[in-house]
Amino acid sequence: MSLHFQRDLENLKKEILLIGGLVEVAINDSIRALKNRDATLAQSVIDKEFMIDEKEVQIEEECLKILALHQPVATDLRLVVVILKVNNDLERMGDFASNIAQRALFLSEHDPLPDLIEFINELPVLVQTMVRNTLDALVKMNTEIAQKVILADDAVDDINRLMHQKVNETIMQDSSTSERAISLLSTSRYLERIADLSTNIAEDVIFMVEGRVIRHDLDHD
């Protein structure tokens, strides 16, 4: 491996961790804005989304440049391909964080729904843990942490399904709650999608380390 190629790969690793940090902050801030009914913080997440978008484009361009100039093979090729995929997933997670912030902005201007408080306290914590563990697995290339993320996804799916049921019940009891309840349901769906993308990244970490594709592994279901 040439020194130039090695330097480009190391820089690529640093950049993917940088966008990962930006995304984690966006997710945590959007959730805090939701819980605390903090319109200012929610708007800040929305205003900063462009930083994640710009970094995603930059990393994609760097990956394509490395593929064109160095034509990597074997493990190095796997690394670049995984970073391309992870980069895209992280950018989408940033989009969902912004979507949550938009819902938090709306909900901060309306009375809370006590029957759905449990959702706000439970699901976001699970998703934040998954995101944190996913980035930790990526930094350390640790398949045990990655596997933990994958296993946690079922609990998120269960809560999201329960959220649908509770929202329907809330709206049936009082139709005036429908707009707020549907906003919370949308937030639940965004969090569930962040969890799915965290799982995708965890699966990519396993592929990077072991060269094993587990996305369609029946044992995973």
Q: How far apart are CA 221 and CA 219, in angstroms?
A: 6
Q: Which amino acid is at 176?
A: S
pLDDT of residue 219 exceeding 60:
no
Q: Which of 30, 37, 20, 35 lies closest to 91 in space, CA to CA? A: 20
Evaluate if pTM is beyond 0.95.
Answer: no
Q: How far apart are CA 81 and CA 200, in angstroms?
A: 14
The per-residue pLDDT for range 106-161, each reduced to its tens digit, is 999 999 888 787 778 889 999 999 999 999 999 899 999 999 999 999 999 999 89
Q: How far apart are CA 63 and CA 65, in angstroms?
A: 5
- Token readout for 158 is 């269960």
Position of tokens 């290339």?
141
The per-residue pLDDT for range 66-116, each reduced to its tens digit, is 999 888 888 889 889 999 999 999 999 999 999 999 999 999 999 988 878
3-220: CATH superfamily: Phosphate transport system protein phou homolog 2; domain 2 (1.20.58.220)
What is the domain partition of the chain in residue ranges? 3-220
Q: How large a percentage of the chain has pLDDT more than 90?
A: 75
- The alpha carbons of the chain give a radius of gyration, in whole angstroms, of 19
Cα dihedral 135, 139, 145, 150, rounded to 10, equals 40
